[in-house]
Amino acid sequence: MNTEYDGFDYSTSLAGASFPSPVFTASGCASSGKELAQFFDLSDIGAVVTKSVMNKPRHGRSTPRMAETPSGMLNSIGLQGPGIDHFLANDVPWLLSKGSRVIVSIAGETIDEYSVLARKIRPVQGISAIEVNISCPNVENRGMVFACQTDTAARAIDGVRKIIGGEIPIIAKLTPDVTDITSIASSVVDAGADALALINTVLGMVINLDTMRPHLGGKTGGLSGPAIRPVAVRAIYQVHSAMPNVPILGMGGVASGRDALELILAGASGISVGTASFGDPTAIPRIQRELHALLVARGFTSLRQAIGYAHRASEEGAQ
C-alpha cells in the first residue's frame, strides 16, 4: 500500500474492497493495463478496472469508431475483446503479478451471459470487485441496455449476485440516459449490487459533413469526456442523496484533481478516469496527486471526510 500520503488517509473502500487511493482507470479506457504500464506503475493507482469482457471473443463495431466533439468524444467500440477465458488466463494474472488491484468489468448480451461470466470469475483469486456493465450503449440494439429499465437491470444483477454470493463486491454500472436514475439505482441495489458505478457514456451521434451520413460505423456512440461531467456530478449527487449508504464509483469527464474532487463532494467514494487517459497517458497518477493536494488544502485529513460533503455542507450551510 501507498505510504506517500503521510498523515493523510487516502484509502477508500467500495463495499468491503479496500484501495490505497480512490483513483482508478475506467473500464474500456485502459484495456487490460499493459499498455499504460509503460507510463506509470499500475500498483501506484487505486485500481485497474478492466475493459468489459464478454463470454466469447468479440470483434466489436465497424470503424470509424470515434469522433471528437467539443470537450468530448463519441466512441462505438462495441465491446471488442478476447472473451472471458482468455482474459482470466492472461490479463488478470499479469495485473496481479504487477501488484495492481483489479476490478473486472463484465458485459453480457443476455441476462444469462452475466451469470455465465460470474461463474467463471468466482473461483479466481485476487479480484477486488466485479463491475457489472449493464449500460453499454454500443450494442446492436439500443433496447439491449439492461440499465434502461428497472426490471432488466435488476435481473442482470440478480443473476450475478446469486452466483457470487458474498465473496466479491458487485458494482452495477448505470447509464445516465434514463428518466429517473435513482429508481434504476435502487432496483439494482435491491437485487444485490453492493455499489454503483456512475456514469457510463451518454448516447450521442455525429454526422460527417463530407459523406453527410452518420460518422460512426455504429451510427450512434457513447459521449464521454469533460463535456459530460455536469451530468455525472448530477447523477452521483441524486443517487447519493437517495441512498447515502451505497458506495459510488464516480466517473464522467474527470481530467484533473479538481474534477475528481467535484465528484467526490457529490458523493463518489472512488473515481474512474477514462477519456482523460487518451489525451494524457499519465493523467491518472497526475489526477491522484492533484486530488490529494486539493483535499489537504481544504483541511481534510482523510478522503472519507470529503465523500458526499456537498450534501452535508448544504445542511450546515448558511443559505
Ligand X SMILES: Cc1cc2nc3c(=O)[nH]c(=O)nc-3n(C[C@H](O)[C@H](O)[C@H](O)COP(=O)(O)O)c2cc1C
Binding site for ligand X (CB under 6 A): 26-29, 51-52, 75, 77, 79, 105, 133, 136, 173, 200-201, 222, 224-225, 228, 251-254, 273-276
Q: Kindly state the smallest distance separating residue 203's Cβ from another protein, in Å.
A: 17
- Specify the residue for cell string 455536469: 230
Residues 268-307 that bind a second copy (CB under 8 A): 294, 298
Cβ–Cβ < 8 Å for 312, 264: no
Q: Kindly state the smallest distance separating residue 190's Cβ from another protein, in Å.
A: 34
Q: Name which position in 227, 246, 287, 307 contacts a second copy (CB under 8 A).
A: 227
By DSSP bridging, strand 48-49 and strand 23-25 are unpaired
Cell of 202: 451518454
Indicate if 148 belongs to the active site: no
- Specify the residue for cell string 456512440: 221
Cβ–Cβ < 8 Å for 111, 163: no
What string marks each residue from 103 to 142 as x (binds a second copy by CB under 8 A) or -?
----------------------------------------
By beta-carbon proximity to ligand X, the closer residue of 77 and 189 is: 77
Alpha helices by DSSP H, listed for 105-197, are: 111-121, 150-164, 181-190
The reply to whether omega before 176 is within 30° of 0 (cis) is no
Q: Which of ligand X, a second copy, another protein, none sits in contact with 88, Cβ below 5 to 8 A by type?
A: none
Out of 49, 136, 168, 170, the active site residue is 136
Q: Which helix (H) or strand (E) holds 96?
A: helix 92-97
By beta-carbon proximity to ligand X, the closer residue of 222 and 270 is: 222
